[in-house]
Structure 1
């Protein structure tokens, strides 16, 4: 258990100062722009990385927020993978990277004690036996960083750090050691504020005379069919509600009572928690303990679910929301009057996957599982409040830009059904002549069956025609991936809209294969404004409207340690960012909706996967961020006038600060 490279061999990159501290440690000081250290090929013998199972180190920093530490690996072919680790301030945290992760098969790594989220970015895989560069670095921040790295080793097994108790949050789930506007001083204040707001919501009903019973805008009406549909009016696309009213969907994702803190591995940072079978048993779930649920129970007792739902319905309507977004509480949906979208579960897969979560799409198992997948829609076929369904969210395989699934499949020794189909496809294309194949690919195969054996794939000669063939079959697989489940879903729920797969981004036009089967193409968009050119191009190519399933903004002035994927200085700036994004979106003819992620702040110590962003409309004590929700109200009041061109969209985009997203 050693680090087989001398610490002094690290090369210091611009913006970084390194102080060696012992045999296996150092302090890394970086500027706000970030910085790092690396070992190049001369100091980093490639074969060493194959002799160990883990890279481990203890990390400590006293920064203002979560540190995003990057561990990057590059092999002799130029492939790169970077692992992003979220590290809490003022807590010694032991990272243990399983080097097997460099095969790229997982996007998110399992959490180890004390770690926030850990995510892989980059190429599909890195060859551990040929690593020529290793780098430690940080991303940009609002201030300089000073990070202590100690005990840096390669090892055969990972031993978690045993830490002393250090309560990090109070009994309400609030961060200890920081003050901010809106921080509650205790249970009494929490109870008073929630009860007062709930009573006010009972006394003053929200009236929305310009909206129909399904949330549509009465200023424009089309033919009513009794269900949600889409229509192009000659200038722009719309959702049309069951009564025929036009709808631009302004939605809120994750409308549920509260987030949940993972307890396992975080015990030393938690206050004393109530018994699982005691007064606060409803706050315990399979994933951990929910401080937010406990707070609702403090205020509302046994009726906490119903009173939360009634309070939230009032909030949604008064803030101008017209759609319940993804992953929202089924109990809330049942009590609400707002239309909703449905996130389908358990997207069809196969026993053996080609890469990450991409199934063996030509295996009959995929077809059978797609049929079973579609049946979850059967009971919803007559629900008029259901706008439509998302087949899935952010496929993990699609996070690798330019990924060629054909190449990944042929590298594998597995006899996929899709590989059988590929060999048959190649045989047919080249008239069963291996000589014709070799002439086209510059290869020297003796028979087509050799395509099944990928052990020497890297030795196959490359050629433009081979690349074209791989790309063509890549598109065939993606098309089948989309079209098979889409077909069965439409049969199960013919009255409802297929809202797509909510891709994280479109790294290649290959991802658009089969998307004609959707009624709406959905994408998540973590930018300050939607990309008009991109949206116009996709809309034109597919002849379909688009919607944005997720966007968010976080701020640095609240009681959280990570600000999300896009961040601004203050809650007032968050409000301006929301207004700018939604109003710019409303002015794009091909866009028919944007859904904000999400209602609640995430937990200070991280949700199930370690994400801990300040992105909610309300905090963990159920207190709204007033400047933010007031901007929501202002935006939604202007939205339809902007949509039809009577008002220009906001031109005020607040200044961005560096994110702390993983």
Structure 2
């Protein structure tokens, strides 16, 4: 009987050849060809068909297609139209897309969509990831599974600056109304191609998330961001968030304001006085263990309210589709801190972690013990330096062959895990320093900026995608 270990070993033994299709089958490594439904689901494993994507555990976790077939999500990110409309590559893309004017959206958009769908078929991508221009991909109608973003809060990790006001009071009526409005506008309850709803791209949750750092995608963050605990505790007593903070402190300190004062060096005569005090502690003393604990406890309370409100708003307008919450940042401590909370509200887990499999494995092992949920790495890849990408985001390989090997290594080991159901690759084409907004940091694609594939990577990704269900099923 063939085991998952045998399957992985056979794949690795032939990884130097990077065979695809018929060659892979001749080597005894089964492919998915001819066994897929219109959504990319594997017809070799059947479940109840509900007309929508869902998750089910049967020996391992699976997505289930609307037609009732097992599905694993191998997605691609970063179809952003401006990457295809740059002056330096305009002639190449006009020829490749068959349009004479990339600024004529009525011609450009459908041509880019046709090219995108054809490219997904060539590489084996079956999902449009959350970082994709749906106004292009889904017009006139969806033809590939896709993730839909709803930005209830705008505090992503990649921005060099996030205004303090963006840390909204999630306990307020105005936030509930905001969530209701955005969910109503975004809901697609009858769309069979909708895989699920996602929220913010790696939101700034913890002190580690919020600190000044040189490695954000936008280049560098000058100065720390305020974060939710510090933002809400400094509001006035007329804010629901401040009242929630004070109630949390009452519980932590057993109603003893003196003990609270001892931690913070304050002289409040009651928790009511604390509630009415604005801007009373604008900085956090990271060496104060009690303050760090208090902020952490309150942060989890904030995140729970945020998720409950957002999920309920989505469910009001779409009871049919999956909810994964935020794409959680696993390259900081954010995933470990908030996952025990967020997992109580989500159908599956979407995390982001740039790192080889051996780097990601300990985290996946830890999180598996916290909650029995299916996992998707919603945005990551392996990169390499080129003349136009001197500072690419992600683990940097020495050369293309090593980049392909790291890709195969992660794909094979991750999809062999019984709770790993998706990887959304970052990204489609190289976003180089020739693009003004990519001067500080660049992104590697599976194709260069002129649409030419990296051959070793194409052979590797194609072979992996063809063998995905065999890998998962062991």
- When normalised by structure 1's length, the TM-score is 0.55
- Native 8 Å contact 1:323 1:340 kept in 2: yes
CA RMSD of aligned residues (A): 3.4
Alpha-carbon distance in 2 for matches of 1:256, 1:511: 30
Q: C-alpha displacement at 1:347, in angstroms?
A: 3.4
Match of 2:138 in 1: 333
- Native 8 Å contact 1:347 1:373 kept in 2: no
- Native 8 Å contact 1:258 1:290 kept in 2: no
Q: Looking at both structures, which has the greater relative contact order when contacts are Cα pairs under 8 Å and sequence separation is at least 6? A: 2
Residues 105-184 of structure 1: matches in 2 within 5 Å?
none
Match of 1:301 in 2: 99
- CA deviations over 1:54-75 (Å, ceiling 9, x no partner): xxxxxxxxxxxxxxxxxxxxxx
Q: C-alpha displacement at 1:239, in angstroms?
A: 0.6
- Native 8 Å contact 1:252 1:323 kept in 2: yes
Residues 208-357 of structure 1: matches in 2 within 5 Å?
208-234=33-59, 236-256=60-80, 259=83, 283=85, 289=86, 291-299=88-96, 300-302=98-100, 303-329=107-133, 330-334=135-139, 337-345=143-151, 347=153, 355=164, 357=166
Alpha-carbon distance in 2 for matches of 1:514, 1:525: 17
1:535 to 2:332 alignment: no
Which range moved further: 242-251 or 619-628?
619-628
Give the SS at the match of 2:423: strand
Alpha-carbon distance in 2 for matches of 1:310, 1:540: 42
1:567 to 2:396 alignment: yes
Match of 2:216 in 1: none
Q: C-alpha displacement at 1:213, in angstroms?
A: 0.8
1:446 to 2:269 alignment: yes
Q: C-alpha displacement at 1:532, in angstroms?
A: 2.7
Give the SS at the match of 1:237: strand
Alpha-carbon distance in 2 for matches of 1:259, 1:390: 23
- Native 8 Å contact 2:229 2:298 kept in 1: no
Match of 1:389 in 2: 197
Which segments of 5 or more consecutive residues in structure 2 lack a partner in the other structure?
1-31, 101-106, 156-161, 212-225
Change in Cα spacing, 1:527 to 1:401, as seen in structure 2 (3 Å) is same
Q: Which has the higher helix share?
A: 2
Give the SS at the match of 1:501: strand
Q: Which has the higher strand share?
A: 1
Which range moved further: 311-320 or 520-529?
311-320
Alpha-carbon distance in 2 for matches of 1:370, 1:507: 27
1:523 to 2:354 alignment: no
Which range moved further: 519-528 or 305-314?
305-314
Match of 2:296 in 1: 471
Residues 348-497 of structure 1: matches in 2 within 5 Å?
355=164, 357-378=166-187, 380-398=188-206, 400-401=208-209, 408-409=230-231, 412=234, 416-427=239-250, 434=257, 444-451=267-274, 452-455=277-280, 468-497=293-322
Alpha-carbon distance in 2 for matches of 1:593, 1:413: 40
Alpha-carbon distance in 1 for matches of 2:378, 2:264: 42
Alpha-carbon distance in 1 for matches of 2:252, 2:163: 23
Q: C-alpha displacement at 1:439, in angstroms?
A: 7.8
Match of 2:28 in 1: none
- CA deviations over 1:195-219 (Å, ceiling 9, x no partner): xxxxxxxxxxxx9412111110122
Give the SS at the match of 2:201: coil
1:632 to 2:438 alignment: no
Q: When the two structures are aligned, how many residues end up with a matched partner?
A: 407
Alpha-carbon distance in 2 for matches of 1:337, 1:608: 30
Alpha-carbon distance in 2 for matches of 1:327, 1:604: 20
Match of 2:385 in 1: 556
Q: C-alpha displacement at 1:570, in angstroms?
A: 2.2
Give the SS at the match of 1:500: strand
Q: C-alpha displacement at 1:606, in angstroms?
A: 3.7
Q: C-alpha displacement at 1:374, in angstroms?
A: 1.0
Which segments of 5 or more consecutive residues in structure 1 lack a partner in the other structure?
1-206, 261-282, 284-288, 646-662
Change in Cα spacing, 1:486 to 1:294, as seen in structure 2 (3 Å) is farther
